[in-house]
Structure 1
């Protein structure tokens, strides 16, 4: 057990933004809310999975919708706690703590805000180890934990409680609510016991995000040192360096869709990488060949200082480094591939682990 202060939050936001693989929302607004809550209510207690009790109930709180919309449609600030409290009342059970559902920019910050406002602890695990665009795309779903009952609410005070037959139906019904609420809303879902969290959560994700943030902020150590440290921590690969020379994006059905073209620089001169995304980066092709795909992580960072770049923040002319990180082993199971593999997103090829696609390529 330890307490998270402002420095911890700054580093967690950076690391979670990288592990968000382009999605999870820009951490800036969420970070400001979390820092404000820490200043008002004090540091947040962080517990490991080993420190929680099997029968206690924990719930995440998150933002759902198109991340690009959140840059203009700011939260009011009380939505997440409202969703959290209302679901607890609906379940008629005492809620013992909270946790992030994904490692993504804004959604890594919201549970810290809720923990500070409610006085409850934050648990060092999540349900993805990265970010994914749909509600059923969690390791809790893989383990048979239901996404519902869940709450969807917005900054106006509208609130719905959803019970669905399947987790996919949870996604479909909640997405309709979110679209009507302006393509961005707040949710609380996947209420889980301590035992379910230990079986299905990805342990240590908050600490992992914090460590990545610590590495990225040590600019004086140099990019080579930073990349090697990230590789040691994540088993990742440095796939490409280049400049974004074309980008298209649109907001549709509550998602950000798009494609970017990156023209190689330095060691990658005269090479081209194309990345397609749906909130998160889905597939990367280098000179026409797939070098990474979901569920593995395709992460963009500033080419010079390695600060992460989300899909809504990238723009023409930005120089980026592309990193490929292997997904958690839970995603590399048959059910995991069925749920988040390339074929689910409409691509006509099977998943191949990123380390096999790029054998011999290392940071």
Structure 2
């Protein structure tokens, strides 16, 4: 077990933005919530997944909403704690550990905002990245249930949902979030320590911290930041150029759209379109798909390596688009059936980003 202070939180935040694959909610907002909790209650304990007792009670703490809305309407850490307490009251026992549902974006650091509850955060998550729907987690692959699920909104409305399957949990929770103004906090996927060990992506927060630290150190040493990020997690170059068009809209509780990039340097004369639903779903270069979910696709500022979420990408930005292999859970037949390109309407088989990506000569 170790304790996460503000410096470590900053590295986790920048790394989780990259693992967010364009989505997951604004991690800076999440960092502000977590930093406030750390300043009030002190550094937050984070334990390795192997340290969690088999009989422990573990739960995901997460926010739900369209990232484009979260930029303007901030979630509240008190709502995260309230959701935790609401679920405890329903199930009749106290949770011993909290964990992030996803390693990307705001939700990677949201559990740290529950510091006032005094529970350690588990260094693991349910995705190894970010996905746009709450059934898209590794516990689903093993029969884990999203519900009972507790939700709290900014109006202090509280709800506990029980559903027949995890897709229904997504549908009903999304509808409630829309009604509440597109921002809610949730406690969901209650599980034992033994189940957490069997189901979750181990070391997800440590990976985010390592990526963030690598980028920070590269900047300090005046090394190429994008190359440093790719080295930190087996990344590959997909494109580089200037953003010339963005079509983005909040629809159905998601931020949906496309960004068009005109190539420069080795990619001069080419163009790329990034398709996103909160997260980037596909990267299409000159009409050919070069990366899809469940692999990670991320736009980084060329000069600084700063990750640019889908809700923030703008005309004129000079970006490098990189791809990273997803966690092994998602490359299994079951994982691809749940999160592969066909899940999002692309009639094609999944091919790993490391096989598709070919840099022009």
Q: TM-score range by the shorter chain?
A: over 0.9
Q: Is 1:278 the equivalent of 2:307?
A: no
CA distance in structure 1 between the partners assigned to 2:298 and 2:72 by the alignment? 24
Q: Is 1:89 the equivalent of 2:84?
A: no
Give SS of 2:64's match: strand
Paired position in structure 2 for 1:269: 268
Give SS of 1:344's match: helix
Mapped contact 2:341–2:350 kept (Cα < 8 A): yes
CA distance in structure 2 between the partners assigned to 1:244 and 1:251 by the alignment? 20
CA distance in structure 2 between the partners assigned to 1:105 and 1:286 by the alignment? 25
Equivalenced residue count is 359
Paired position in structure 1 for 2:21: 21
Give SS of 2:34's match: helix
Q: Report 1:1-363 matches (<5 A).
A: 1-114=1-114, 116-218=115-217, 219-224=219-224, 226-358=225-357
Give SS of 1:33's match: helix
CA distance in structure 2 between the partners assigned to 1:230 and 1:309 by the alignment? 13
CA distance in structure 2 between the partners assigned to 1:11 and 1:265 by the alignment? 30
Give SS of 1:99's match: strand
Deviates more, 1:67-76 or 1:48-57: 67-76
Deviates more, 1:289-298 or 1:176-185: 176-185
Mapped contact 2:214–2:232 kept (Cα < 8 A): no
Give SS of 2:101's match: coil
- CA deviations 1:75-132 (Å, max 9, x no partner) are 2431110001111121111210101110122111210111x11111011000000000
Deviates more, 1:266-275 or 1:251-260: 266-275
Give SS of 2:131's match: coil
- CA deviations 1:289-326 (Å, max 9, x no partner) are 11100000001111111111111111111111111000
CA distance in structure 2 between the partners assigned to 1:51 and 1:76 by the alignment? 29
Root mean square deviation, CA, Å: 1.4
Deviation at 1:334, TM superposition (A): 1.2
4+ residue segments displaced more than 2 Å = 220-224, 226-233
Give SS of 2:178's match: helix
CA distance in structure 1 between the partners assigned to 2:96 and 2:198 by the alignment? 18
Mapped contact 1:49–1:124 kept (Cα < 8 A): yes
Mapped contact 1:249–1:257 kept (Cα < 8 A): yes
User: How high is the TM-score relative to the length of structure 2?
Assistant: 0.97
Mapped contact 2:11–2:210 kept (Cα < 8 A): yes
Mapped contact 1:223–1:306 kept (Cα < 8 A): no
